[in-house]
């Protein structure tokens, strides 16, 4: 959503999402499963990628792996050591937290508070219990490891991110995102490492998202109250899941329940119905035409905040084709959408704009000038795609075979109607009804179908 919106606003976005493919958890799990850490990480990475595709989440531009950035990590650790921010201890290297004066600022905690909260380490390896590992010496011979100035070992988790971030985005980055649980210690430590090494503010904007909760508790494996994306995708489609997430502000927790997902499904359905109904009223050609007129207007508003009034020709041309009241309404919709999204991604407000456009479109569709609703649907498709929705995709049964079978059933029913076999036609409708499939007959147009709750 963030990268889509920033690109829509005309920003040149480089979106990097890194993969941690070596850490304690991976090493332990790989050992249990008798596979290499690389094999284990690859298996889960493929699962993750499949789920992201199914959710219509855009892939990042660059997706570095920690194990391919080890040299860069060693370079930064060496630099920190030279500057006095790191020290070696029995083959491990630690970050000297007390030397970094801004430590704790991201999580709004003072060093004293953190220190009194930290458990005292039994091992005397660290100068201070808050010091964290930049490099970990190898423990057993068969363990995955790399050569370094401090002997064989592997990087700590936090330094992976500082190194990949610097390699692909530079010493300072605009936006760093992640779950709220990463603020401390992970992001606090990343910040400390990068700022100590490069003498620059690490991140201009931090975006930390709230958790999906059940009964107000974080969904997590350890609590056993979690659903996988694949579980969810069996019951709800990508548009619905996205809608559910976007109804809340990203910084807030989002409470999972079947009711709220059903509500989300109904929300998507209203938008999709507007698209389908309008398409069936004005036809695809008219919709495409409207799209061609609307898109440059959106672009102009995005770029300058207003219409190109200096380009009189364009305006006259537009006025001839788009009625003035319609134009004003569309401009208002676009501006509210942009203002909402510019306000720290107020997606629930942005969604309400989509509903406004959809309901105006539906009203115009049954008015004296139904052709004008094409502008509404063109705008609806454009703005909803900025939020990552694909309204042209049907809710469920979105696999090709199911849609083809439905078309077949509808054409059989059509045939029986032509033959005035009303009993058969009703039978088909009733039986489909039992499967929650609703048929909508239209005058002079093919029958359309949809799924009901």
CB of 188 to Zn ion, least distance (A): 11
CB of 172 to Zn ion, least distance (A): 16
**Token pair for residue 159?**
């330094």
Tokens 């035409």 -> residue:
289
Count of C-beta atoms within a 10 Å radius of residue 136: 20
DSSP H or E segment with residue 136: strand 133-137
Q: Which lies closer to Zn ion via its Cβ, residue 69 or residue 362?
A: 69
3-state secondary structure 335-359: HHHHHHHHCCCCHHHHHHHHHHHHH
CB of 155 to Zn ion, least distance (A): 12
Q: Which lies closer to Zn ion via its Cβ, residue 161 or residue 192?
A: 161
CB of 248 to Zn ion, least distance (A): 24
321 three-state secondary structure: helix
Taking alpha carbons only, the member of 366, 280, 378, 364 closest to residue 333 is 378
Q: Which lies closer to Zn ion via its Cβ, residue 208 or residue 218?
A: 208
- Give the interface with Zn ion as residue ranges (CB under 5 A): 161
Tokens 């620059």 -> residue:
200
CB of 75 to Zn ion, least distance (A): 18
d(CA 125, CA 145): 20
Beta pairing class for 153-155 and 133-137: antiparallel
- Burial level of 430, CB count in 10 A (0-12/13-18/19+)? exposed
Q: Which lies closer to Zn ion via its Cβ, residue 2 or residue 432?
A: 2
Q: Which lies closer to Zn ion via its Cβ, residue 60 or residue 370?
A: 60
Closest residue to Zn ion in the complex (CB): 161
Q: Answer for the pair 109, 184: CB distance below 8 angstroms, yes or no.
A: yes
Q: Which lies closer to Zn ion via its Cβ, residue 161 or residue 264?
A: 161
CB of 161 to Zn ion, least distance (A): 3
Tokens 């380009």 -> residue:
311
Q: Which lies closer to Zn ion via its Cβ, residue 188 or residue 237?
A: 188
CB of 160 to Zn ion, least distance (A): 7
**Token pair for residue 305?**
């905040």
């Amino acid at each position: 959503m963030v990268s889509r919106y920033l690109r829509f606003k005309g920003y040149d976005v480089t979106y990097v999402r890194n993969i941690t493919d070596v850490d304690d958890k991976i090493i332990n799990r790989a050992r249990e499963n008798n596979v290499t850490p690389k094999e284990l990480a690859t298996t889960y990475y493929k699962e993750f990628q499949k789920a992201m595709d199914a959710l219509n989440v855009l892939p990042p531009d660059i997706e570095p792996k920690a194990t391919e950035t080890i040299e860069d990590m060693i370079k930064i650790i060496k630099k920190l050591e030279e500057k006095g921010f790191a020290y070696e201890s029995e083959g491990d290297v630690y970050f000297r937290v007390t030397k970094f004066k801004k430590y704790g600022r991201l999580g709004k905690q003072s060093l004293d508070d953190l220190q009194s909260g930290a458990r005292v380490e039994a091992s005397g390896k660290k100068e201070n219990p808050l010091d964290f590992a930049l490099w970990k010496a190898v423990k057993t011979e068969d363990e995955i490891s790399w050569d370094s100035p401090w002997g064989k070992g592997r990087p700590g988790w936090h330094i992976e991110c500082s190194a990949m971030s610097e390699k692909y985005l530079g010493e300072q980055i605009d936006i760093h995102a992640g779950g709220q649980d990463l603020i401390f210690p992970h992001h606090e430590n990343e910040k400390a490492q990068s700022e100590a090494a490069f003498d620059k503010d690490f991140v201009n904007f931090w975006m930390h998202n709230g958790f999906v909760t059940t009964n107000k508790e974080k969904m997590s494996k350890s609590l056993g109250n979690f659903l996988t994306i694949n579980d969810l995708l069996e019951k709800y489609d990508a548009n619905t899941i996205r809608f559910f997430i976007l109804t809340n502000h990203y910084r807030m927790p989002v409470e999972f329940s079947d009711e709220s997902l059903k509500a989300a499904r109904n929300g998507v359905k209203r938008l999709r119905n507007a698209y389908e109904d309008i398409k069936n009223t004005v036809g695809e050609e008219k919709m495409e035409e409207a799209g061609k007129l609307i898109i440059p207007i959106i672009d102009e508003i995005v770029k300058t905040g207003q219409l190109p009034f200096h380009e009189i020709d364009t305006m006259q041309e537009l006025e001839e084709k788009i009625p003035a009241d319609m134009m004003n309404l569309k401009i208002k919709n676009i501006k509210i959408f942009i203002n909402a999204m510019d306000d720290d991604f107020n997606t629930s407000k942005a969604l309400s704009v989509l509903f406004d456009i959809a309901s105006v479109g539906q009203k115009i569709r049954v008015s004296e000038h139904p052709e004008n609703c094409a502008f509404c649907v063109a705008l609806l498709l454009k703005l909803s795609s900025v939020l990552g929705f694909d309204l042209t995709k049907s809710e469920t049964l979105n696999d090709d075979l199911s849609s083809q079978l439905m078309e077949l059933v509808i054409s059989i029913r059509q045939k029986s109607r032509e033959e005035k076999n009303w009993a058969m036609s009703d039978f088909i409708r009733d039986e489909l009804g039992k499967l929650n499939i609703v048929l909508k007959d239209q005058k002079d147009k093919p029958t359309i179908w949809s799924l009901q709750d």
